[in-house]
């Protein structure tokens, strides 16, 4: 995996492949996804990984690109056992035989970043050891640096960027890729996710052995099970009773995934950002069903009472894997997203639009009324639609475009959350096609409302607002009389403001500037003509007049060219 090619040769190779597939133009305009897919495959492991990351970002690229790039597969040959031993020894000072009771020489999986081996700790615990390929972090950093240089070629691509901010894509994906090769960061995230979610009903999370982890080595508890695709693709039984049990099981799994994800986002504020089927395992329990405790807290005046109950678990488990891409929300951001769900659940399009405004960065002047109107039209068709009938990639991409059209930019943590929900939604919809957005949102909205609604505080606020309204109402006759006196005395003044006022004023200002330039050019041409006609006997004055003519012609030509370019730019 060590890079033996020089940076200049590698850059030449990148540019050659990009030119052959017209990579920059195609990606820039979101056209010909098959050509871009082929370019990623030829460019090697770093770019394959970047393509895979792009395929998980429906907020950044079009649905056609999501579909094409999701086919990218790592095709990295496994390192030899001798190479693995050297990496482990460089990190720990010991060989695998010295660290583990047993260590499989052959990996069971190999990807662009590293490969995984089954092993056993000295105490007999079964673990999975992920070993990075040698120098993979240096190779990725080098390729990213070269990719940044290649992006500068974007300025030679004609047209205006209307679909995707290429610099934003590269910046965010670079951060994601570099965090993925940071093994210790993944270990810390895995441990935190374990503490929050392991044992949450049928959810299980592998334990991270931090004392065994190193910059290029990750050691996790080995977990049983197959990809949840096994359950998704399992055909329905022909027997009626078995078919009902099969359907009930799939429904329970779907609801568990949704409920646990909601907990991750709105309780833990720390969520798995890449919950695709390969990162979720399913297996059946052969031992008797276990039980779990549920602690419930109730407040009765100044008295707090705790109840605990036992809940039997079904005979199967779900296991989360791979914690290289995680998301974190602030409490304020989580509340903002909760308000969006609450508004959608109550079919309040105006409140939903206002809540979306609060989770966006503003990149320019925003017409809030226009956005509210457009958002209402956008969200209305989805309110009663089943998840299985929603193209989540198209939904997220369209919503991002709607925001961009109103000078709004979804914050990175929000787009990461949407991406995670989109990945999970595809699995959930296949398990239970009858789940709708409303059925998912309404129970959560009710629970959030109960937890955040304080009756005493609300009554106090309403009482204060009522008193303020009463006082203000008593002053209306006095204020109306004062206003009439000012109007009759000619002291009244009305300030008007309309949507798009700044654009109109800017356009008027440009028109006035052009008119001023035209007047100045006309004056220059007229004065130059007078100097030329009346100074044939004075060469210096004659040349001055000719210079004025030439200057006027040059300025006129520049203005005509700029006007033609602006017209072409607007059409494209």
Q: What is the distance between the alpha carbons of residues 63 and 30, in angstroms, rounded to a whole number?
A: 10
- pLDDT for 95: 92
Highest mean pLDDT out of 114-118, 410-414, 541-545? 114-118
Which long-range contacts does 290-299 make (Cβ < 8 Å, 24+ apart)? 292/199, 292/201
CB 554 within 8 A of CB 564: no
pLDDT in tens, 99-130: 999 999 999 988 778 889 999 999 999 999 99
- pLDDT for 550: 81
What's the mean pLDDT when you consider all of the chain?
Answer: 78
Kindly indicate the confidence band of residue 266, based on its pLDDT and cuts at 50, 70 and 90.
confident
Kindly indicate the confidence band of residue 160, based on its pLDDT and cuts at 50, 70 and 90.
very low
Kindly indicate the confidence band of residue 407, based on its pLDDT and cuts at 50, 70 and 90.
confident
- pLDDT for 312: 80
Q: What is the distance between the alpha carbons of residues 118 and 12, in angstroms, rounded to a whole number?
A: 40
Query: DSSP for 163-182?
Result: S--HHHHHHHHHHHHHHHT-
Helices (H) and strands (E) in the chain, counts: 22, 15
Q: What is the distance between the alpha carbons of residues 273 and 93, in angstroms, rounded to a whole number?
A: 34
Q: Which residue has the higher pLDDT, 339 or 444?
A: 339
Rounded to a whole number of angstroms, the distance between the first and last alpha carbons of the chain is 44
Q: Which residue has the higher pLDDT, 347 or 93?
A: 93
Provide the token pair at 73: 């597969």
φ, ψ for residue 408, nearest 5 deg: -120, 145
Q: What is the distance between the alpha carbons of residues 99 and 83, in angstroms, rounded to a whole number?
A: 16
Kindly indicate the confidence band of residue 293, based on its pLDDT and cuts at 50, 70 and 90.
low
Q: Which residue has the higher pLDDT, 171 or 454?
A: 171
Q: What is the distance between the alpha carbons of residues 436 and 410, in angstroms, rounded to a whole number?
A: 24
Question: Rg (Cα) of the chain, in Å, rounded?
Answer: 32
Which of 93-102, 183-192, 380-389 has the weakest average pLDDT?
380-389
Q: What is the distance between the alpha carbons of residues 359 and 409, in angstroms, rounded to a whole number?
A: 9
> In the block, which residue shows the tokens 């009771």?
101
Other beta carbons within 10 angstroms of residue 180's beta carbon come to 21
Average pLDDT of the residues in 346-354: 81
Predicted confidence (pLDDT) at residue 538 exceeds the cutoff of 80:
no
Highest mean pLDDT out of 343-352, 440-449, 488-497? 343-352
- pLDDT for 280: 93
Q: Which residue has the higher pLDDT, 350 or 125?
A: 125
For residue 115, the cross-strand partners are 110, 131
- The widest CA-to-CA distance across the chain, in whole angstroms, is 116
Provide the token pair at 45: 């492991």
Predicted confidence (pLDDT) at residue 486 exceeds the cutoff of 50:
yes
Q: What is the distance between the alpha carbons of residues 75 and 79, in angstroms, rounded to a whole number?
A: 12
Average pLDDT of the residues in 321-332: 86
Predicted confidence (pLDDT) at residue 326 exceeds the cutoff of 50:
yes
Average pLDDT of the residues in 129-134: 91
Predicted confidence (pLDDT) at residue 82 exceeds the cutoff of 90:
yes
């Amino acid at each position: 995996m060590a890079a033996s090619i020089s940076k200049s040769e590698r850059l030449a190779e990148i540019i050659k492949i990009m030119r052959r597939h017209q990579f920059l133009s195609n990606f820039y305009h979101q056209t010909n996804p098959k050509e871009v897919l082929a370019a990623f495959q030829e460019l090697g492991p770093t770019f394959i990984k970047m393509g895979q990351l792009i395929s998980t970002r429906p907020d950044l690229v079009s649905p056609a690109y999501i579909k094409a790039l999701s086919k990218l597969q790592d095709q990295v040959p496994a390192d030899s056992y001798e190479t693995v031993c050297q990496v482990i020894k460089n990190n720990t000072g010991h060989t695998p035989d010295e660290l583990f009771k047993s260590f499989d020489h052959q990996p069971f999986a190999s990807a662009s970043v590293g490969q995984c081996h089954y092993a056993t700790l000295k105490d007999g615990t079964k673990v999975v050891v992920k070993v990075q390929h040698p120098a993979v972090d240096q190779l990725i950093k080098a390729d990213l640096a070269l990719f940044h240089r290649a992006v500068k070629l974007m300025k030679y691509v004609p047209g205006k960027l209307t679909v995707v901010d290429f610099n934003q894509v590269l910046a965010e994906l670079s951060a994601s890729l570099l965090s993925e090769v940071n093994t210790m960061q993944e270990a810390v995230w895995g441990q935190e996710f374990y503490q929050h979610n392991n044992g949450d009903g049928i959810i299980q999370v592998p334990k991270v052995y931090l004392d065994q982890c190193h910059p290029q080595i990750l050691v996790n508890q080995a977990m049983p099970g197959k990809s949840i695709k096994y359950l998704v693709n399992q055909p329905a039984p022909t027997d009626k009773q078995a078919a009902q049990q099969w359907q009930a099981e799939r429904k329970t799994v779907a609801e568990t995934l949704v409920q646990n994800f909601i907990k991750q986002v709105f309780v833990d504020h720390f969520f798995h950002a890449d919950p695709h089927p390969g990162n979720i395992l399913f297996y059946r329990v052969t031992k008797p069903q276990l039980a779990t405790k549920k602690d419930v807290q109730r407040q009765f005046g100044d008295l707090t009472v705790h109840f605990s109950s036992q809940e039997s678990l079904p005979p199967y488990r779900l296991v989360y894997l791979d914690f290289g891409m995680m998301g974190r929300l602030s409490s304020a951001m989580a509340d903002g997203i909760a308000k969006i769900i609450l508004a959608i659940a109550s079919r309040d399009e105006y409140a939903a639009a206002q809540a979306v405004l609060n989770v966006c960065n503003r990149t320019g002047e925003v017409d809030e009324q226009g956005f509210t109107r457009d958002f209402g039209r956008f969200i209305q068709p989805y309110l009663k639609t089943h998840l299985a009938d929603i193209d989540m990639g198209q939904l997220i991409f369209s919503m991002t475009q709607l925001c961009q059209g109103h000078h709004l930019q979804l914050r990175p943590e929000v787009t990461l959350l949407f991406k995670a929900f989109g990945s999970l939604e595809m699995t959930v919809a296949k398990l239970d096609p009858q789940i709708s957005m409303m059925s998912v949102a309404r129970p959560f909205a009710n629970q959030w409302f109960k937890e955040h609604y304080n009756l005493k505080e609300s009554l106090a606020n309403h009482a204060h607002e009522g008193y303020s309204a009463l006082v203000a109402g008593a002053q209306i006759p006095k204020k109306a009389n004062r206003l009439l006196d000012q109007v009759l005395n000619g002291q009244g003044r009305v300030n008007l403001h309309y949507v798009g006022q700044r654009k109109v004023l800017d356009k008027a200002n440009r028109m006035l500037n052009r008119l001023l330039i035209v007047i100045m050019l006309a004056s220059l041409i007229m004065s130059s003509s007078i100097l030329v006609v009346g100074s044939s006997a004075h060469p210096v004055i004659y040349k001055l007049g000719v210079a004025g003519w030439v200057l006027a012609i040059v300025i006129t030509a520049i203005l005509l060219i700029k006007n033609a370019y602006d017209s072409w730019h607007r059409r494209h």
